[in-house]
Structure 1
């Protein structure tokens, strides 16, 4: 039961620690602001949780608009939100601490805190077995015609099929990954940016999910 927040990966830089005389590689993440769009209770839904909307547009703001269908509009109506880019749910213990329309920002995190970052890895496209699984290649000379081919993928009559899960060519990357126990080095409250020690999945501009680590 950890309440986190959605954010956007800005990129990587480094912070110099004068006392230890080292350069710390960090990833900058624009966290929130998110708005509480829905509250689930144990009596009604079987568990306590809140839904946070990220990239939202309030009903009285006509300058920007995100295309929203009627079911989404009805779901967001209670929180006075006209449209929302992303919605994420977090299970919480003290549900009475939250209310619909409440703003959750970078203030939920602290310097020195450990977080888990969930994101989508960079897509590599369709790759062969050498690049995808680090397979060895065949001889490159002496008339060989098997350079980067996958080779045999199974026996003949028995079993007469290819077993599920066989490592073959296919799409590489573009999957969800979680990096655990990354420490927050610095927080810029005015800009809503946190500097996390280390690298996180995805490229700059990707959506990421920050969760307080069980270590903190």
Structure 2
């Protein structure tokens, strides 16, 4: 059965494996999540399940969502995510999914929102090299250089790498290993780093490359 969880990034630490080697891990508070909707081809045109994570007061939820949760007989949740599994019928409305749905050694993909860096130049944003710092290049060696030919096409091509907003976008890190699971506290230790700042919401899914 395909698996997924919504969680919150707690932070990074390190643990020791059975050989005594240090393993850097990111701790995620994964779940408990509740199935708030089961979509079918007959009613919605496609099969999917919707999960909710994080309790929130009803007054902080819009009225349409209040009705949505009331129909599902589920307490209001802060985060909703939809997953298209091959076998969505394996899940039931109101089913609670906890961290123990994954096992130690599983390979997972983690999706989150990367840290926002604000407006960044081409060196920080695209790893451009600096210009020459002598022979009349100019007062600034961290410019992007030529943007293209002048007479043809007489414009900057769409998609040209330039300075701009860096970060604060959806990022997925693939094929990470689950190192340890604390089912009692719904904690999952994942080897390596995952996107986003501490306290940010992430989605953990079965790895597509495993």
Q: Report the TM-score when normalising by structure 2.
A: 0.90
Match of 1:161 in 2: 155
- Partners of 1:3 and 1:47 lie apart in 2 by 18
Match of 2:187 in 1: 193
Moved more, 134-143 or 40-49: 134-143
- Partners of 2:21 and 2:101 lie apart in 1 by 28
Q: How is 1:14-25 mapped onto 2 (pairs within 5 angstroms)?
A: 14-17=14-17, 19-25=18-24
1:74-95 residue CA offsets vs partner (Å, 9 max, x unmatched): 1111222352211111123444
5+ residue gaps, structure 1, are 58-63
Contact 1:2 1:90 in 2 (8 A): no
Match of 2:53 in 1: 54
Match of 2:98 in 1: 105
Counterparts in 2 of 1:94 and 1:153: CA distance versus 1, 3 Å: closer
Contact 2:131 2:145 in 1 (8 A): no
Of the three residues 159, 172, 182, the one matched with 1:178 is 172
CA-based RMSD of the aligned residues comes to 2.0
Contact 1:15 1:25 in 2 (8 A): yes
Between the two proteins, the alignment pairs up a number of residues equal to: 209
SS at match of 2:76: strand
State the Cα distance separating 1:109 from its structure 2 match. 0.8
Contact 1:113 1:184 in 2 (8 A): yes
5+ residue gaps, structure 2, are none
Match of 1:205 in 2: 199
- Partners of 2:112 and 2:53 lie apart in 1 by 15
Q: How is 1:7-18 mapped onto 2 (pairs within 5 angstroms)?
A: 7-17=7-17
- Partners of 1:113 and 1:151 lie apart in 2 by 46
